[in-house]
């Protein structure tokens, strides 16, 4: 399959009134691929392919929207309960993405990390991941993290198992251990978006979403556009993030 290369876009005029200082971590549960395909009489794998194209568009637009870290949920560890052919199709799309996009990521300053287990993947995919991560390691414009065979609970459990070796016990040092387990950082999420109409976290970034804002949309992931991402960011801008303190209006 031919894939269009990533072309990172400059901010469009409409974005200029968005705060430019920000460097947000946006995480997306990209749900609804299967329903998108089924409603068109297509196999579910066609929905995942369409979803991969949406991911490309969102990744291209992200830096211009003030997003510094973007985490996409490509495959949950729970998805192994699906028919093997569907899981294989998703892993194959990831492999294609790595082969076709790594050089563009390097050119555009995108650092790519895969977070999640690797031991259940084909060795060729593991190698492609290692190659892409090494090639893009110096990217600073966008940290693109793809969660693949990922379970937040499992990652936290593994970090907890290692944590006893750490001498300075603190939430920050736990985050560092979690970051090691994930091999792709564990920074706090500012905004979590879930497409597809469900309103749940599905074992995604449980630790990192402690103070995240949530935006849920009924759109299926293949239909999600850059305009929709901007709308979610505007909604985020209108939220008052107190992190447990009093709202400004009351605190004075
Ligand atoms: C989300 O789409 C993408 C992945 C889980 C990889 P789904 O495959 O869950 O789509 P629906 O929810 O069945 O429509
Ligand atoms: Mg789903």
Exposed / middle / buried, residue 60 (Cβ in 10 Å: 0-12, 13-18, 19+): buried
Q: How confident is the model at residue 213 (pLDDT cuts 50, 70, 90)?
A: very high
| pLDDT over 90 percentage in the chain | 76
Query: 117 is in which domain, residue-wise?
Result: 20-235
| Separation between Cα atoms, residue 244 and residue 226, nearest integer Å | 31
Q: Specify if 245 maps to a domain.
A: no
SS in 3 state form for 86-110? HHHHHHHHHHHHHHHHHHHHHHHCE
CATH number of the domain within which 226 lies: 3.40.1180.10
Strands 67-76 and 213-216, bridge-based pairing = unpaired
**Residue-level pLDDT at 12:** 46
- The Å distance, Cα 148 to ligand 1 centre, comes to 13
pTM (2 d.p.): 0.89
Ligand number nearest to the C-alpha of 30: 1
- In-domain check, residue 39: yes
Nearest CA to ligand 1 atom 1: 31
104 as an active site residue: the answer is no
In a domain, 8, yes or no: no
Domain count, the chain: 1
Q: Judge whether 9 lies within some domain.
A: no
Pocket around ligand 1 at a 6 A CB cut-off? 30-35, 74-75, 79, 90, 196
Among 17, 31, 104, 138, the active-site one is 31
pLDDT, one tens digit per residue, over 63-110 is 999 999 999 999 999 999 999 999 999 999 999 999 999 999 999 999
pLDDT at position 6: 58
Look at residue 14 and tell me if it is in a domain. Answer: no
Indicate whether 2 belongs to any domain. Answer: no
Average pLDDT of span 8-17: 48
Q: Which atom of ligand 1 is nearest to the CA of 35?
A: 14
Atom nearest to 198 CA in ligand 1: 12
């Amino acid at each position: 399959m031919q894939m269009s290369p990533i072309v990172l876009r400059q901010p469009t005029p409409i974005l200029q009134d968005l705060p430019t200082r920000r460097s947000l971590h946006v995480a997306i549960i990209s749900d609804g691929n299967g329903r998108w395909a089924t409603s068109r009489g297509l196999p579910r794998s066609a929905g995942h392919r369409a979803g991969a194209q949406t991911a490309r568009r969102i990744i291209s637009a992200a830096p211009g929207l003030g997003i510094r870290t973007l985490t996409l949920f490509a495959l949950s560890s729970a998805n192994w309960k699906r028919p093997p052919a569907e899981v294989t199709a998703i892993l194959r799309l990831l492999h294609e993405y790595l082969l076709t996009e790594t050089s563009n990521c390097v050119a555009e300053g995108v650092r790519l990390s895969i977070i999640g287990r690797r031991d259940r993947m084909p060795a060729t995919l593991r190698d492609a991941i290692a190659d892409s991560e090494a090639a893009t390691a110096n990217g600073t414009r966008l940290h693109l993290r793809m969660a693949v065979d990922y379970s937040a609970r499992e990652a936290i459990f593994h970090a907890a198992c290692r944590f006893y070796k750490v001498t300075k016990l603190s939430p920050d040092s736990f985050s560092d251990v979690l970051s090691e387990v994930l091999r792709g950082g564990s920074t706090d999420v500012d905004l979590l978006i879930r497409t597809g109409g469900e309103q749940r976290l599905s074992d995604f970034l449980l630790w990192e979403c402690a103070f995240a804002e949530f935006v849920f949309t009924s759109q299926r992931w293949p239909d999600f556009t850059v305009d929709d991402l901007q709308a979610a960011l505007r909604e985020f801008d209108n939220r008052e993030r107190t992190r447990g303190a009093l709202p400004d209006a009351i605190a004075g």
